[in-house]
Amino acid sequence: MKKTLLLLTVIFNTILSFAQPLITNSSFEDWATRYTKLAPIGWQCDSVGLVTNSVKKVSIPSVGSYAIQIGTISYAGGVISSYISREDSITSTPGNLTFDYKIYNNITSQFNGLYLEIYFKDSKKKDLRDFNWTSSGNNSTYSAGNMAISFNTGQIPKYYTLRISYFNVGGVAGEYAIIDNLKFSKPGSVMKTLNNSLISVYPNPTNGSLNFTDKAKDKLAKVRLISATGQNFEFPVTNSSINISRLSKGIYLAELIDTDNQILKREKVSVLN
Protein backbone atom coordinates (compact mmCIF):
# COMPACT_ATOMS: atom_id res chain seq x y z
CA MET A 1 0.00 0.00 0.00
CA LYS A 2 2.82 2.41 0.89
CA LYS A 3 4.55 1.60 -2.39
CA THR A 4 1.33 2.35 -4.31
CA LEU A 5 0.89 5.70 -2.57
CA LEU A 6 4.55 6.55 -3.20
CA LEU A 7 4.14 5.71 -6.90
CA LEU A 8 1.02 7.88 -7.20
CA THR A 9 2.81 10.74 -5.45
CA VAL A 10 5.71 10.51 -7.91
CA ILE A 11 3.33 10.37 -10.89
CA PHE A 12 1.37 13.44 -9.85
CA ASN A 13 4.44 15.43 -8.86
CA THR A 14 5.66 14.75 -12.39
CA ILE A 15 2.32 15.91 -13.81
CA LEU A 16 2.47 19.09 -11.74
CA SER A 17 5.96 19.80 -13.07
CA PHE A 18 5.31 19.06 -16.73
CA ALA A 19 1.58 19.51 -17.35
CA GLN A 20 1.24 21.83 -20.31
CA PRO A 21 -1.78 24.14 -20.09
CA LEU A 22 -0.60 26.07 -23.18
CA ILE A 23 -1.20 23.26 -25.68
CA THR A 24 -4.13 21.35 -24.27
CA ASN A 25 -4.23 18.45 -26.71
CA SER A 26 -0.54 17.64 -26.78
CA SER A 27 -1.02 13.97 -27.62
CA PHE A 28 -3.94 14.36 -30.06
CA GLU A 29 -6.11 12.00 -28.00
CA ASP A 30 -9.43 13.76 -28.58
CA TRP A 31 -11.01 14.03 -32.03
CA ALA A 32 -14.41 15.06 -33.39
CA THR A 33 -16.18 14.72 -36.76
CA ARG A 34 -16.19 17.84 -38.95
CA TYR A 35 -17.43 17.75 -42.53
CA THR A 36 -17.67 13.92 -42.26
CA LYS A 37 -13.97 13.64 -41.35
CA LEU A 38 -12.23 13.30 -38.00
CA ALA A 39 -10.19 16.29 -36.86
CA PRO A 40 -8.29 16.89 -33.60
CA ILE A 41 -10.21 18.97 -31.07
CA GLY A 42 -8.72 22.41 -30.59
CA TRP A 43 -7.00 22.38 -33.99
CA GLN A 44 -8.00 23.73 -37.39
CA CYS A 45 -7.34 21.59 -40.48
CA ASP A 46 -7.08 22.93 -44.01
CA SER A 47 -9.93 22.09 -46.39
CA VAL A 48 -7.78 19.52 -48.20
CA GLY A 49 -7.30 17.57 -44.99
CA LEU A 50 -10.98 17.65 -44.08
CA VAL A 51 -12.22 16.63 -47.52
CA THR A 52 -9.68 13.95 -48.41
CA ASN A 53 -8.78 12.60 -44.98
CA SER A 54 -5.09 13.39 -45.50
CA VAL A 55 -5.09 14.44 -41.84
CA LYS A 56 -5.53 11.23 -39.86
CA LYS A 57 -5.64 9.87 -36.33
CA VAL A 58 -3.02 7.12 -35.99
CA SER A 59 -2.03 4.80 -33.18
CA ILE A 60 1.40 4.53 -31.60
CA PRO A 61 1.30 1.12 -29.90
CA SER A 62 4.65 1.54 -28.15
CA VAL A 63 3.38 4.70 -26.44
CA GLY A 64 -0.21 3.57 -26.00
CA SER A 65 -1.68 6.80 -27.37
CA TYR A 66 -2.73 8.55 -30.56
CA ALA A 67 -0.81 10.89 -32.83
CA ILE A 68 -1.67 12.90 -35.94
CA GLN A 69 -0.59 12.07 -39.48
CA ILE A 70 -0.37 15.00 -41.91
CA GLY A 71 -0.28 13.76 -45.49
CA THR A 72 -0.32 14.67 -49.19
CA ILE A 73 -2.73 14.07 -52.07
CA SER A 74 -2.85 14.38 -55.84
CA TYR A 75 -4.81 17.43 -56.95
CA ALA A 76 -5.13 19.16 -60.35
CA GLY A 77 -2.11 17.35 -61.70
CA GLY A 78 0.12 18.15 -58.74
CA VAL A 79 0.77 17.12 -55.15
CA ILE A 80 -0.73 19.18 -52.33
CA SER A 81 0.34 19.02 -48.69
CA SER A 82 -1.86 19.45 -45.62
CA TYR A 83 -1.48 21.39 -42.40
CA ILE A 84 -3.04 21.87 -38.98
CA SER A 85 -3.05 25.02 -36.86
CA ARG A 86 -4.29 26.39 -33.57
CA GLU A 87 -4.64 29.79 -31.91
CA ASP A 88 -4.68 30.28 -28.17
CA SER A 89 -3.88 32.67 -25.35
CA ILE A 90 -1.10 32.03 -22.84
CA THR A 91 -0.69 32.96 -19.20
CA SER A 92 3.10 32.98 -19.02
CA THR A 93 6.17 33.21 -21.24
CA PRO A 94 6.74 29.72 -22.72
CA GLY A 95 9.99 27.83 -23.12
CA ASN A 96 11.06 25.89 -26.22
CA LEU A 97 8.47 23.92 -28.16
CA THR A 98 9.26 20.19 -28.01
CA PHE A 99 7.66 17.30 -29.90
CA ASP A 100 8.13 13.82 -31.39
CA TYR A 101 7.96 13.31 -35.13
CA LYS A 102 8.42 10.82 -37.95
CA ILE A 103 8.64 11.53 -41.70
CA TYR A 104 7.82 9.07 -44.47
CA ASN A 105 9.06 9.91 -47.98
CA ASN A 106 8.89 7.45 -50.85
CA ILE A 107 11.63 9.38 -52.64
CA THR A 108 14.16 10.65 -50.11
CA SER A 109 15.94 12.85 -52.67
CA GLN A 110 12.89 15.12 -53.02
CA PHE A 111 12.44 18.30 -50.99
CA ASN A 112 9.88 17.03 -48.49
CA GLY A 113 9.58 17.29 -44.74
CA LEU A 114 7.93 18.74 -41.66
CA TYR A 115 7.60 22.50 -41.08
CA LEU A 116 6.50 24.22 -37.86
CA GLU A 117 5.95 27.94 -37.48
CA ILE A 118 4.69 29.83 -34.45
CA TYR A 119 3.70 33.49 -34.17
CA PHE A 120 3.41 35.37 -30.88
CA LYS A 121 1.37 38.52 -30.23
CA ASP A 122 1.20 40.86 -27.26
CA SER A 123 -1.89 41.73 -25.20
CA LYS A 124 -3.08 44.11 -27.96
CA LYS A 125 -2.60 41.33 -30.55
CA LYS A 126 0.29 43.14 -32.19
CA ASP A 127 3.02 40.96 -33.71
CA LEU A 128 5.77 40.22 -31.21
CA ARG A 129 8.08 37.48 -32.52
CA ASP A 130 7.90 34.43 -34.77
CA PHE A 131 9.89 31.21 -34.97
CA ASN A 132 10.11 28.25 -37.34
CA TRP A 133 11.62 24.78 -37.54
CA THR A 134 12.18 22.51 -40.55
CA SER A 135 13.19 18.87 -40.94
CA SER A 136 13.53 16.96 -44.19
CA GLY A 137 14.62 13.45 -45.10
CA ASN A 138 13.15 10.13 -44.07
CA ASN A 139 12.87 9.22 -40.37
CA SER A 140 12.15 5.51 -40.02
CA THR A 141 11.73 5.92 -36.25
CA TYR A 142 10.43 8.72 -34.08
CA SER A 143 12.82 11.59 -33.47
CA ALA A 144 12.75 14.42 -30.94
CA GLY A 145 12.21 17.93 -32.28
CA ASN A 146 12.91 21.21 -30.52
CA MET A 147 11.98 24.72 -31.67
CA ALA A 148 14.07 27.25 -29.76
CA ILE A 149 11.94 30.11 -28.41
CA SER A 150 13.19 33.24 -26.64
CA PHE A 151 12.01 36.80 -26.09
CA ASN A 152 13.74 40.14 -25.72
CA THR A 153 13.54 42.11 -22.49
CA GLY A 154 10.11 43.63 -22.09
CA GLN A 155 8.43 41.34 -24.61
CA ILE A 156 5.44 39.62 -23.00
CA PRO A 157 3.55 37.17 -25.23
CA LYS A 158 -0.19 36.85 -24.67
CA TYR A 159 -1.39 34.99 -27.79
CA TYR A 160 0.14 32.56 -30.24
CA THR A 161 -0.67 30.88 -33.55
CA LEU A 162 0.98 27.53 -34.30
CA ARG A 163 0.93 25.99 -37.77
CA ILE A 164 2.30 22.53 -38.63
CA SER A 165 2.72 21.49 -42.26
CA TYR A 166 4.03 18.56 -44.22
CA PHE A 167 5.63 20.21 -47.25
CA ASN A 168 6.08 18.25 -50.45
CA VAL A 169 7.92 19.77 -53.42
CA GLY A 170 8.32 17.41 -56.36
CA GLY A 171 7.23 14.44 -54.27
CA VAL A 172 4.44 11.93 -54.71
CA ALA A 173 1.01 11.54 -53.12
CA GLY A 174 0.87 9.33 -50.06
CA GLU A 175 3.93 10.75 -48.32
CA TYR A 176 3.35 12.06 -44.82
CA ALA A 177 4.66 13.11 -41.42
CA ILE A 178 3.46 12.01 -37.98
CA ILE A 179 3.77 14.33 -34.99
CA ASP A 180 2.88 13.90 -31.32
CA ASN A 181 3.54 15.10 -27.76
CA LEU A 182 3.65 18.82 -28.53
CA LYS A 183 4.42 20.90 -25.47
CA PHE A 184 6.39 23.87 -24.26
CA SER A 185 9.47 22.88 -22.31
CA LYS A 186 8.25 24.64 -19.19
CA PRO A 187 4.64 24.95 -18.07
CA GLY A 188 2.76 28.16 -17.53
CA SER A 189 3.71 29.36 -14.06
CA VAL A 190 1.66 32.54 -13.70
CA MET A 191 -1.54 31.88 -11.80
CA LYS A 192 -4.06 34.34 -10.44
CA THR A 193 -3.49 35.54 -6.90
CA LEU A 194 -6.23 33.62 -5.20
CA ASN A 195 -6.95 32.01 -1.88
CA ASN A 196 -7.54 28.47 -3.11
CA SER A 197 -9.82 27.77 -0.19
CA LEU A 198 -12.39 30.03 -1.88
CA ILE A 199 -12.94 27.35 -4.54
CA SER A 200 -14.11 23.92 -3.44
CA VAL A 201 -14.49 20.73 -5.48
CA TYR A 202 -17.02 18.05 -4.49
CA PRO A 203 -17.78 15.19 -4.23
CA ASN A 204 -14.31 13.70 -4.15
CA PRO A 205 -14.18 10.73 -4.79
CA THR A 206 -16.88 10.93 -7.46
CA ASN A 207 -18.54 8.55 -9.91
CA GLY A 208 -20.37 10.84 -12.32
CA SER A 209 -20.02 14.56 -11.84
CA LEU A 210 -17.91 17.23 -10.15
CA ASN A 211 -19.41 20.32 -8.56
CA PHE A 212 -17.73 23.60 -7.71
CA THR A 213 -18.29 26.34 -5.19
CA ASP A 214 -16.56 29.57 -6.24
CA LYS A 215 -16.88 32.14 -3.47
CA ALA A 216 -14.36 34.39 -5.22
CA LYS A 217 -16.63 34.70 -8.29
CA ASP A 218 -13.70 34.21 -10.69
CA LYS A 219 -15.89 33.01 -13.54
CA LEU A 220 -14.79 29.39 -13.62
CA ALA A 221 -15.06 28.42 -17.31
CA LYS A 222 -13.65 24.93 -17.75
CA VAL A 223 -11.87 22.09 -16.01
CA ARG A 224 -8.97 20.09 -17.40
CA LEU A 225 -8.48 16.60 -15.97
CA ILE A 226 -5.05 15.00 -16.49
CA SER A 227 -4.71 11.25 -16.03
CA ALA A 228 -1.72 9.49 -14.46
CA THR A 229 -0.54 8.65 -18.01
CA GLY A 230 -0.66 12.30 -19.10
CA GLN A 231 -3.93 12.26 -21.10
CA ASN A 232 -5.87 15.54 -21.06
CA PHE A 233 -9.67 15.81 -20.87
CA GLU A 234 -11.40 19.20 -20.91
CA PHE A 235 -14.95 19.93 -19.77
CA PRO A 236 -16.89 23.21 -19.94
CA VAL A 237 -18.41 24.19 -16.60
CA THR A 238 -22.21 24.41 -16.75
CA ASN A 239 -24.20 25.45 -13.69
CA SER A 240 -21.08 25.02 -11.54
CA SER A 241 -20.75 21.36 -12.55
CA ILE A 242 -19.15 19.03 -15.10
CA ASN A 243 -20.17 15.53 -16.20
CA ILE A 244 -17.23 13.10 -16.09
CA SER A 245 -19.16 9.83 -16.41
CA ARG A 246 -17.19 8.92 -19.57
CA LEU A 247 -13.84 8.93 -17.78
CA SER A 248 -12.15 5.71 -16.74
CA LYS A 249 -11.64 4.89 -13.09
CA GLY A 250 -8.47 6.41 -11.64
CA ILE A 251 -6.82 9.41 -10.04
CA TYR A 252 -6.68 12.66 -12.04
CA LEU A 253 -5.15 16.08 -11.60
CA ALA A 254 -7.90 18.70 -11.98
CA GLU A 255 -6.96 22.17 -13.26
CA LEU A 256 -9.69 24.77 -12.72
CA ILE A 257 -9.49 27.45 -15.43
CA ASP A 258 -11.21 30.83 -15.69
CA THR A 259 -12.51 32.78 -18.70
CA ASP A 260 -9.03 34.33 -19.23
CA ASN A 261 -7.56 30.83 -19.58
CA GLN A 262 -5.73 31.20 -16.27
CA ILE A 263 -5.46 28.33 -13.81
CA LEU A 264 -7.19 29.13 -10.54
CA LYS A 265 -6.51 25.91 -8.69
CA ARG A 266 -5.07 22.40 -9.04
CA GLU A 267 -6.47 19.47 -7.06
CA LYS A 268 -6.29 15.67 -7.16
CA VAL A 269 -9.61 13.99 -7.95
CA SER A 270 -10.46 10.30 -7.56
CA VAL A 271 -12.90 8.95 -10.19
CA LEU A 272 -14.77 5.76 -9.30
CA ASN A 273 -16.60 5.14 -12.62
Domain check: are 209 and 167 in the same one? no
pLDDT at 152 over 80: yes
Residues 178 and 216 both lie in one domain: no
Whether 8 maps to a domain, the answer reads no
More confident call, 5 vs 197: 197
158 and 50 in a common domain: yes
* pLDDT band (50, 70, 90) for residue 15: very low
The total number of structural domains in the chain stands at 2
Cβ neighbours around 213 below 10 Å, total:
12
pLDDT digits (tens, 9 = 90+) for 50-102: 777 889 888 875 555 788 999 888 777 777 888 999 988 887 788 888 888 98
Whether residues 123 and 41 fall in one domain: yes
Residues 136 and 260 in one domain: no
C-alpha closest to that of 137 among 115, 163, 159, 107: 107
Provide the pLDDT for residue 115.
92
Domain enclosing residue 86, as ranges: 22-184
Min mean pLDDT across 8-12, 93-97, 196-200 is at 8-12
| pLDDT for the residue numbered 98 | 87
Least confident segment among 12-16, 85-89, 179-183, 253-257:
12-16
| AA identity, residue 139 | N
Distance separating alpha carbons of residues 163 and 127, to the nearest angstrom: 16
What lies within 8 Å, CB to CB, of 270 at 6+ separation is 204, 205, 206, 250, 251, 252
For residue 84, is it within any domain? yes
Q: Which residue has the higher pLDDT, 59 or 13?
A: 59
Q: Is 100 within a domain?
A: yes
Kindly state whether residues 135 and 30 are assigned to the same domain: yes
Nearest Cα to Cα of residue 180 among 104, 253, 98: 98
